[in-house]
Amino acid sequence: MSRSWLRRLVLVALAGVVASVPPASAARASKPAAIVIQKVDEAKFEPAPGEPFFLLLLGNDGRAGVSGQRGDGIHLVGVNPSAGTATILNIPRDTWADVPGRGYGKINSAFQFGGLRLQAETVGRLVGVPVTFGITTDFDGFQGLVEDMGGLEVNVPFDMNDRNSGAVYPAGPIHMDAHYALAFARNRYIPGGDLARTEHQGILLQTALTKVRAETNGPLDTMRMVAILARHTSLHDVSLADLYTLARYATGLPAEGIRNITMPSTITTIGRASVVLPGPGSAELFADFADDAVLQAH
């Protein structure tokens, strides 16, 4: 069977699975898609054997009554399909960076000025990698996905007691529903402040990928995962075939092959703004990450 026919069969099957997934609740179904996946480069998505690809995951602070969205969590993910590895590189949102066409500013301002494409270009330039896809979600999208996944088993690194956000947990493994997972992702009243929060968001991503891998036992499970994602998602220059390919790579990652690391950082002041600069060792980390998305020296 030719690859083109196989591709058509996969798409037909995927369309059937998408149609079979139960609809979202009436409240969520009436809202615009809370997750956006956008292809941010011009080349066709065909990863060469042995070559990594990079995608940007961006949690934005969009919610009812708030305008001017900015990136609230910035995570650059490098996937090496041949090695069966993925590295989540967490970039603090207050990192001082060159935003193309705007000059230097906080890195998360790129999303407000130019959407996912500019945010991906800004992060890619900082680290030194080409970014193929940008994915952003607001609070509703994040909670909807966690809800559909049946919650997450998260290893909380230390006791938390932020009653304003709801992040009140003892250290150790905790089953988190959508509300508690969002509270964990947003809580910055902790040792390390916003830098630690960025690391915790990476922990959630790592946990979600591990769960997806554990619960996927073949193409049908992969298609069902795509269907659940598609229910919350608006696609821009991304086909269902692209989405299936991304899901297939995600479900092929063993738990031990997923790394989570945060950019070494130095906090300083520029003008009146508190900002983050790439700290000692960041250049070496970026180079280690960029060559094949596998961390050999970190």
pLDDT digits (tens, 9 = 90+) for 72-88: 799 999 999 999 999 99
What pTM, to 2 d.p., does this model score?
Answer: 0.86
Query: Domain for residue 58, yes or no?
Result: yes
Query: Domain for residue 76, yes or no?
Result: yes
- pLDDT of residue 47 exceeding 90: no
Range of the domain at 184: 33-292
Query: Domain for residue 20, yes or no?
Result: no
- DSSP labels for 193-252? HHHHHHHHHHHHHHHHHHHHHHT--SHHHHHHHHHHHHHTEEEES--HHHHHHHHHHHHT
Task: Point out which residues pair with 79 in neighbouring strands.
Answer: 53, 86
Look-up of token digits 């066709």: 44
Report residue 293 as tokens. Answer: 């998305």
CA–CA separation, 52 and 44 (whole Å):
14
Q: How confident is the model at residue 62 (pLDDT cuts 50, 70, 90)?
A: low
CA–CA separation, 6 and 250 (whole Å):
21
Each residue's pLDDT tens digit, 29-42: 445 568 899 999 97
Query: Domain for residue 284, yes or no?
Result: yes
Query: Domain for residue 13, yes or no?
Result: no
Q: How confident is the model at residue 9 (pLDDT cuts 50, 70, 90)?
A: very low
Tell me which H or E stretch contains 123. Answer: helix 109-127
Query: Domain for residue 17, yes or no?
Result: no
Each residue's pLDDT tens digit, 204-259: 999 998 998 888 888 888 888 888 788 788 999 998 888 888 988 888 888 889 99
Residues 259-271, mean pLDDT to the nearest whole number? 95
Each residue's pLDDT tens digit, 132-163: 999 999 888 899 889 988 999 999 999 999 88
Residues 261-267, mean pLDDT to the nearest whole number? 96
Q: Which range has the worst mean pLDDT, 34-43, 67-76, 109-118, 196-205?
A: 67-76
CA 139 to chain centre: 13
- pLDDT of residue 65 exceeding 70: no
Query: Domain for residue 2, yes or no?
Result: no
CA-to-CA dists, residue 154 to 22, 58, 158, 178, 181, angstroms: 27, 20, 12, 12, 8
Q: Kindly report the CATH number assigned to the domain that includes residue 75.
A: 3.40.630.190
CB 215 within 8 A of CB 18: no
Query: Domain for residue 120, yes or no?
Result: yes
Q: How confident is the model at residue 63 (pLDDT cuts 50, 70, 90)?
A: low
CA–CA separation, 281 and 89 (whole Å):
14
Number of independent structural domains in the chain: 1
